[in-house]
A and B are shown apart, each in its own frame.
Chain A
Amino acid sequence: MSRQLTQRLIFTLIILAAVSTVTPIVLIVGYIAWKGLPAISWEFLSGLPREGMRAGGIWPAIVGTIYLTLGTGLIAVPLGVAAAIYLAEYAKDNWLTRAIRIAIINLAGIPSVVYGLFGLGLFVLFLRFGTSILAGCLTLSIMTLPVIISTAEEALRAVPQSFRVVSISLGGTKWQTIWRIVLPQALPGILTGVILGLERAAGETAPILFTAAAFFLPRLPDSPFDATMALPYHLFVISTQVPSMPIQIQYGTALVLLVFVLSMMLIATIIRSRARARRQW
């Protein structure tokens, strides 16, 4: 076979590989949009479920997912960013640091259903939070922390060391240097990580299955100790647990969840590309 022909063959194969990775995404989004769009209406988005969820809207599930996502952010972001600052700026290479790193890696590898069981044991039963938004947020936080910590640490490390040296040489303390130079420069990267972490939290079913989600609760939760409906769990319920469910409502719910998660991803992408354009280093 001539070199030219080999060249062309390889090129074609690589193009095919690239296209085939994009195909499922296009198909999934396209298919769900096609099947789900007819279900979308103001009543569907803002109404309460009726007739055993076979009619009406998914408003409580939307609100529940927003609460769970924001609550998780409230807990996981300060903790995760603080941990990342410790690892990137303060930690020396000793047994404690190594232990923390191993813990983070292992946390990232735990299946989400195990987080759910852990949350059930610790938050719901032992700490008596009950099946509640609080227990769900805490469980989701533990699951999200590794993502936030590792992306935030990476973002902090990407800030040039020379900025730190200059700041210190101008009479800055370590904390002044971190607060005034390093954190602002790392912020877009940290935000990207935070949003990607929360996006996963918003879409997960298993961690909230035993800790926060209500099978059917046609009202809005009114305290962090209330259980709540949530989009991923609601989707699971109406797809498997409710007989003679109109298929439109299933796909409509899936579409809302997908749009919710994809728009978080989009925001993260916009933040990242804007920051990259403005960056001076």
Chain B
Amino acid sequence: MIQAHGGNLSNSSNAKIVVAHLSVQYDDGTESLRDISMEIPANEITVLFGPAGGGKSTLLRALNRLNDLVDGVRLIGKVYLDGENILDPNLDVVSLRRRVGMVFAQPIPLPMSIRQNVIYGLELAGVRHAGKLELALEKALRAAALWDEVHDRLNEPAAALSGGQQQRLCLARVLALEPEVVLLDEPTSGLDPISTAKVEASLEEIKRDYTVVIVPHSIQQAARIADRAAFFLQGQLIEYGIGKDLFVAPTDKRTEDYVTGRFG
């Protein structure tokens, strides 16, 4: 078993993702993550929280190598998914991204129908069988709690959905690929409270089958949904632990100050 320093789990055999001494640096000399080590367990919701610019999104994007799309980024250290280093330059990133899906802050429906949006990833992966696609479509939309609202208008453009529906569609689109890990980067930042509750409820559902890593859009949301919580400040992992412990009784002064609203 790969051991990481810092954020060790009590039961490390359960670790789905192991981040080991990860630093993210840019060509201009700045650094957005410094020597991060943590273990992320399967079938739980792990929350990465902290003030803006702390490196949460950067870590999220390292987990499915989306940082590759940006020029001049260097990732130092290792990130293991089921024991395999996913920062290996020879890794097949396309199949990695099928295993590790991502929901972004803004709902970005692709310019096509609701149906096409959900099966897009499967079609890219070469799934052609219509029955299989329909089955995956319904399953994913149900898991994202969107089926009842859209099942009778699957051929309408996805852009016609409301913001909250669009974001659940984006979740469904990821779930259709049946990934192992679902990453969410402030998925409810543009949503109303009811839509937010729906998204949070479906996260509770999907964690049974997936590993969920989320950057919440507020500290309240972090406290509501976190099985585990990691507090990031200026590129460093300050504290990492069981969600209900960390929000009730943080051990680090900086975490306490942030959680109690003294800054941030």
Interface residues of chain A, those whose CB is within 8 Å of chain B, are 92, 160, 162-173, 176, 180-181, 185, 279-281
Could you list some 15 contacts between A and B, CB below 8 A?
A162-B106, A163-B110, A166-B110, A169-B64, A169-B97, A169-B101, A170-B177, A171-B97, A171-B98, A171-B125, A172-B94, A172-B121, A173-B94, A181-B110, A280-B111
B58 CB to closest chain A CB (Å) equals: 15
Compute how far the CA of A169 lies from the CA of B67 in the bound complex, rounded to whole angstroms. Answer: 11
Asked whether, in the complex, the Cβ of A166 is within 8 Å of the Cβ of B108, the reply is yes
Residues of A within 8 A of B71 (CB): 92
**10 interchain residue pairs of minimum CB distance:** A170-B121, A280-B159, A171-B98, A280-B111, A169-B102, A171-B97, A162-B108, A172-B124, A166-B108, A176-B124
Pairwise interchain contact B69-A166, C-beta atoms closer than 8 A: no
Instruction: Report if B104 contacts A (CB, 8 A).
Output: yes
Task: Return the chain B residue nearest A185 by Cβ.
Answer: B111
User: Any chain A CB within 8 A of the CB of B174?
Assistant: yes
Contact residues, B140-184 vs A (CB, 8 A): 157-159, 170, 173-174, 177
What is the bound-complex CA distance between A170 and B97, given in angstroms?
6
Interface string of B64-77 (1 = CB under 8 A from A): 10100101000000
Q: B174 to chain A: which residues have CB within 8 Å?
A: 170
Q: Are B157 and A280 in contact (CB under 8 A)?
A: yes
Count CB-based A-B contacts (< 8 Å). Answer: 65
Instruction: Say yes or no: is B210 at the interface (Cβ < 8 Å to chain A).
Output: no
When chains A and B are docked, how far (Å) is the Cα of A160 from the Cα of B104? 15
Known A165-B69, A169-B64, A170-B124; further 7 A-B contacts with Cβ < 8 A: A165-B104, A166-B170, A168-B66, A168-B69, A169-B66, A171-B121, A171-B177
Contacts of A165 in B (CB 8 A): 66, 69, 104, 108
Contacts of B125 in A (CB 8 A): 171
Complex Cα–Cα for A264 and B143 (A): 50
A-contact bits for B48-75, CB 8 A (1 contact / 0 none): 0000000000000000101001010000
B186 to chain A, nearest CB (A): 14
Q: Would B110 and A167 count as touching, CB distance under 8 A? A: yes
- What CA separation (Å) do A160 and B159 show in the bound complex? 14
Closest to B179 in A: A171
A281–B159 Cα distance when bound, in Å, is: 8
User: Quick one: which of B104, B111, B159, B170 has the most chain A CB within 10 A?
Assistant: B111
Give Cα distance in the complex from A171 to B126, angstroms. Answer: 11
Shortest CB-to-CB span from A48 to chain B, Å, is 50
For the complex, give the distance between the alpha carbons of A211 and B174 in Å: 56
Q: Which of chain B's residues have a CB closer than 8 A to the CB of A169?
A: 64, 66, 97, 101-102, 104
Complex: chain B residue closest to A176, CB-CB: B124
Max chain A CB contacts within 10 Å: which of B97, B120, B125, B159? B120
Report the minimum CB–CB distance from B54 to chain A (whole Å): 21
Once bound together, how far apart are the Cα atoms of A30 and B35, in whole Å? 75
In the complex, B10 has a CB within 8 A of chain A: no
A165 CA / B106 CA spacing, docked (Å) = 12
Interface contact B111-A281, CB-CB below 8 Å: yes
Say yes or no for B95: interface residue by CB 8 A criterion: yes
